[in-house]
Amino acid sequence: MNKKIDNKKILCFSGTVNKGFELSDLLLVEKLNNNFQVSYAVKSNEMYKKYSPEKEKKKINFIKKFFYNYFDDECGFPGFNEDFKRNTDFINFQTIWIYRWSQLKKLIKKTDILILGSFRNNEWIIEYARRRNKIVILHKNPANIDSEGEILPNIYFTKNKYETENIKKKIYEKKISNIASNDVIHEVGSLQYEYSQNLLLEKGSFFKKYNLDPNKKTFIFFPSAPQIQNEYYQEDYKKIVDIIERNHNVIIKGHPTDYSKRKLRKEYGDLSSWEYLLTKPKVLSPEDFYSAIKYCDAGISIFSNIFLELNFFKKPIIFVNRYDHYA
């Protein structure tokens, strides 16, 4: 092993997570821990609970904004539930819980190599670390298609060739800046896909869990984010489920914001879209997503980028009234 690398301090940071995949980054931490000095940090969901909507932020006194890091303890994206503090794996890896961005900054200053999972706040984190001459490595877990910002990390591990091509295109168009000539992009997949293999159910168990008829075709319905579900969208939402379930199995895989009950429409109150719009929906637990893909005949959506993931697993998707709602 190269001694120059052996002596480097590595910080792995998980800023957000998809429900059911909370332990997925530990696959990486465990591998690295065999040869390197590794610290693991996760952002607590308490920061999400403290999040202030933009309209509330605008009301805050300018002096407070200028002289105090007033939003240091909040984040607009879900983090890790405090229950995982009692998880054996989290305890064994001496997981550091982040409650303030200033806490993360202190950790970055003490580290040599920063490894980030996919997270919309990565833009400022990458810039902060690179300005301090830290090596920044980014990997796509969760395996979303969110942009990581306008600054390339030193090493970008993408989940597929389409993502790699898209990033290279943005670099060419100067929408993303590569700071150094030796910044690299590698296509490696995602820890989310690898971890999902531990969660796959047998077909009989899956159909039994969701009370599905094994003699019928099975479709997964993918509603879009709840904040864009206006009255016309809601009508098609209900019609799609009603029509399919007359002769087939239909199970709903909600948008992540629907599961976390954020960005809900006012009329939904504290209910997810399916709780508000449907009577007895069959709703997929997020951890069973890849079991559902394996056993479904097709996905159905009004519009969604989920087709990228379904196509990756060679499953078709049917769009209904897509252009009526797309704008």
SS3 state of residue 14: strand
Mean pLDDT of 195-224: 94
Sheet holding 218-222, edge to edge: 249-252, 218-222, 298-301, 317-319
Give the DSSP H or E segment for 158: strand 155-158
- Separate counts of helices (H) and strands (E) for the chain: 17, 11
Kindly indicate the confidence band of residue 307, based on its pLDDT and cuts at 50, 70 and 90: confident
pLDDT at 69: 58
Separation CA 281–CA 302 (nearest Å): 18
pLDDT at 19: 84
Asked if the model's pLDDT at residue 55 lies above 80, the reply is no
Could you tell me which of 230, 233, 211, 226 has the C-alpha nearest to residue 281?
211
Contacts with 171 (C-beta within 8 Å, 6 or more apart), sequence order: 152, 177, 178
Give the DSSP H or E segment for 135: strand 135-139
Contacts with 274 (C-beta within 8 Å, 6 or more apart), sequence order: 223, 252, 254, 258, 281, 283
Report pLDDT digits (tens) over 222-268.
998 888 888 998 999 999 999 999 999 999 998 888 887 877 888 88
Tokens of 74: 């909040």
Give the DSSP H or E segment for 92: helix 88-92
Asked if the model's pLDDT at residue 35 lies above 70, the reply is yes
Separation CA 103–CA 108 (nearest Å): 9
Asked if the model's pLDDT at residue 95 lies above 50, the reply is yes
pLDDT at 327: 60
- Count of Cβ atoms closer than 10 Å to residue 122 Cβ: 23
Separation CA 93–CA 106 (nearest Å): 19
- Count of Cβ atoms closer than 10 Å to residue 270 Cβ: 8
pTM: 0.82
